[in-house]
Amino acid sequence: MPKMMPFYHIPFQSGDNDILKEMLRGYTHQRYRRIIDTIRHYMPDAAVSGDAIVGFPGETEEQFEATMTLIREIGFDTVNTAAYSPRPNTPAAEWDNQVADLIKLDRLHRINALVNECAEERSSRYLNTVQEVLVEGVNPKIPTQVMGRNGGNRLTFFDGDESLVGQLVKVHVDETRTWSLTGHMVDN
């Protein structure tokens, strides 16, 4: 078993340097891109996930679009998204330039549509490949199937029983979806 799985969760929060500075993140989108470029240099097929916040106080449409561009260009496997909400005892909660809830909601819908599009595209690379899957349990919706995760952290379903739980098995991927894979077990 490899010492490192080809899956990296690296939050970025925003694709705009001014917003990142206001968030006190301590990095730029260029630095973030260099980190991802380094990972993909050594592991070209590595799965990458991140976190993004839309509607941080003062975020303009242009700054939001910079985040969309970053997501599109990186080609994330998944991005956890959220609309900014004020937290007690944080400086940004007191700022006068809060983004209207309707704008935050619109941006959240748009970013989620892009994230789904990227995830579906990234999932498709697994079609007709054999993946090593760590079996986690029985599929609660289809008891004749088990489920586990491949090295890229994609949920993978295939026929099997609970005796496979905890094992690494090889699965040929027959179908891909935005967030999961379905296949059949092949000889280990």
* Mean pLDDT value of segment 100-122: 97
pLDDT tens, 11-57? Answer: 999 999 999 999 999 999 999 999 999 999 999 999 999 999 999 99
Tell me the three-class secondary structure of the chain, residue by residue: CCCCCCEEECCCECCCHHHHHHCCCCCCHHHHHHHHHHHHHHCCCCEEEEEEEECCCCCCHHHHHHHHHHHHHHCCCEEEEEECCCCCCCHHHHCCCCCCHHHHHHHHHHHHHHHHHHHHHHHHCCCCCEEEEEEEEECCCCCCEEEEEECCCCEEEEECCHHHCCCEEEEEEEEECCCEEEEEECCC
> What pLDDT, on the 0 to 100 scale, is given for residue 5?
78
Note the pTM of the prediction, 2 decimals: 0.91
Residue 1 pLDDT level (bands cut at 50, 70, 90): very low
Least confident of 5-9, 72-76, 97-101: 5-9
